[in-house]
Amino acid sequence: MYDFEPEKVRQFLESHNVRRAAIQLPPGLRRNLREIIRTFKEAEVEAVVLSDSCYGACDLADVKAKRLGCDALIHYGHADMGLRTVLPTLFVEARMKIDPRGAIELALPELEGKRWGVATTVQHIEHLPRIMKFLADNGIESVIGNPGPRARYPGQVLGCDWGCVRSIAGEIDGILYVGTGRFHPLGMVLATGKEVVAANPISGSYERVRGFEDFIKKRAAVVGRASSYEDFYVVSSVKPGQRRLGLARKVVRELRQNGLNAELLVADEITPETVEDFPEGGVVSVACPRIPIDDVERFKRPVLTPFEARVMMGKAELEPYELDEIEEGDA
Ligand code: SF4
């Protein structure tokens, strides 16, 4: 299903004279370990598989790999977002071979008569020219936005960078998203105010995502719960592409100026365990913008984004909702 680019890996290992390589895999690719590791065995390179969490190219383990005596890091499943590394690093994007046009064909009646932005994740990025041609052959106009600060390719969205769809919001009626899950479609609706048709190449089906009333209600409830606290923890991650200590300090300052107690916490991964042993209090996360949204059910304590913290302090309205995004140079 995925292209693990064994030839490119082999050449990289050879050209850097690698004897020991660290392998970093997101959870969804770990079941493919045998296939991935074959290339390293054939090249007689010792593979050190890092099994800590890994959700994005923001989370490079080059420093850890160096400490383990590795000569290189091979990071699977994400596109390079331009972070500097202390070891030669190869990104294997693990693109999916599945042709998404079957799912898009089913969605054609929804698409007719409108102009669509097309967006996807790196796994399906190489299908974009084919998708645009397919739409044009069916009389549907489409456009692809330039990548935002953290994305690498035109048409690519990340949970912390909606720049590519925001840049074309003024010239489209809606967005055709190719991929799985609900987070990206919802993010694009919030970032642009446009309807999203999400075509899932794996299930071969599609879904329309329009309103975000439920989302706003849920976030309003989290902000409401947080407002009952006087103590807050502002948590920042040390992951190289999630580190926003400047923002964390600013949020701490603002909370204190509003008469609240606020402490800065720093951790690698932000989980319920990161905060639960500290005295009772609300949490503001300045790490991956997905944490407060995706992990809302996991945390017993209310976890806010920096924008939601401002809403709680009466400095902003919840609508229009501002998604947290990581800017270049924010870390
Ligand atoms: S910060 Fe979050 S959304 Fe952005 S790349 Fe990292 S894991 Fe993905």
Query: What is the average per-residue pLDDT within 265-291?
Result: 96
C-alpha 288 to ligand 1 mean position (Å): 5
pLDDT of residue 206: 96
Structural domain contains residue 144: yes
Please report, for the domain that includes residue 232, its CATH number. Answer: 3.40.50.11860
pLDDT confidence bin for 212, thresholds 50/70/90? confident
pLDDT confidence bin for 211, thresholds 50/70/90? confident
Please name the helix (run of DSSP H) or strand (run of DSSP E) that holds residue 205, with its range, or none.
Answer: strand 205-209
> What span, in angstroms and rounded, lies between the C-alpha atoms of 260 and 303?
16
Q: What is the dihedral of CA 270, 286, 30, 151, to 10 degrees?
A: 180
320: Cβ contacts below 8 Å, ≥ 6 apart: 193
Residue 330 has pLDDT above 80, yes or no: no
> What span, in angstroms and rounded, lies between the C-alpha atoms of 141 and 139?
7
Query: What is the average per-residue pLDDT within 233-239?
Result: 96
Query: What is the average per-residue pLDDT within 297-319?
Result: 97
pLDDT of residue 327: 81
- Residue 185, SS3 per DSSP: helix
Mutation test residue for ligand 1: of 326, 327, 328, 330, the one with most atoms within 8 Å of CB: 326
How confident is the model over 105-163, as pLDDT tens digits?
A: 999 999 999 999 999 999 999 999 999 999 999 999 999 999 999 999 999 999 999 99
| Domain co-membership, 106 together with 68 | no
| Domain co-membership, 107 together with 200 | yes
C-alpha 158 to ligand 1 mean position (Å): 7
Structural domain contains residue 196: yes
The percent of residues in the chain predicted with pLDDT above 70, rounded, is 99
Query: What is the average per-residue pLDDT within 269-276?
Result: 94
CB contact at 8 A, 102 and 204:
yes
Closest C-alpha residue for ligand 1 atom 4: 160
pLDDT of residue 210: 78
| Domain co-membership, 119 together with 88 | no
Query: What is the average per-residue pLDDT within 201-223?
Result: 93
Please report, for the domain that includes residue 186, its CATH number. Answer: 3.40.50.11850
- Residue 4, SS3 per DSSP: coil
Q: Which atom of ligand 1 is nearest to the CA of 158?
A: 3
| Residue 152 Cβ contacting ligand 1 at under 6 Å | no
pLDDT of residue 316: 98
Closest C-alpha residue for ligand 1 atom 2: 288
C-alpha 59 to ligand 1 mean position (Å): 8
C-alpha 247 to ligand 1 mean position (Å): 17
C-alpha 55 to ligand 1 mean position (Å): 6
Q: Which atom of ligand 1 is nearest to the CA of 289?
A: 2
| Residue 159 Cβ contacting ligand 1 at under 6 Å | yes
| Residue 288 Cβ contacting ligand 1 at under 6 Å | yes
- pLDDT, mean over the chain: 96
pLDDT of residue 104: 97
Residue carrying the six token digits 């446009």:
194
pLDDT of residue 331: 52
Query: What is the average per-residue pLDDT within 317-331?
Result: 84
Structural domain contains residue 317: no
Give start and end residues of each alpha helix (H) in 227-282. 245-257, 272-276
Please report, for the domain that includes residue 83, its CATH number. Answer: 3.40.50.11840
Strands 205-209 and 195-200, by their bridges, are: antiparallel
C-alpha 57 to ligand 1 mean position (Å): 7
Residue 19 has pLDDT above 80, yes or no: yes
Q: Which domain range does residue 288 map to?
A: 217-312
C-alpha 289 to ligand 1 mean position (Å): 7
What pTM value is reported for the model? Answer: 0.94
| Domain co-membership, 191 together with 263 | no
Closest C-alpha residue for ligand 1 atom 1: 288
Residue carrying the six token digits 């916490």:
265
**Backbone torsions φ then ψ of 235, nearest 5 degrees:** -105, 130
Which of 94, 118, 134 terminates a domain? The answer is: 94
Give start and end residues of each alpha helix (H) in 138-175. 163-166
How confident is the model over 48-90, as pLDDT tens digits?
A: 999 999 999 999 999 999 999 999 999 999 999 999 999 999 9
Residue 241 has pLDDT above 80, yes or no: yes
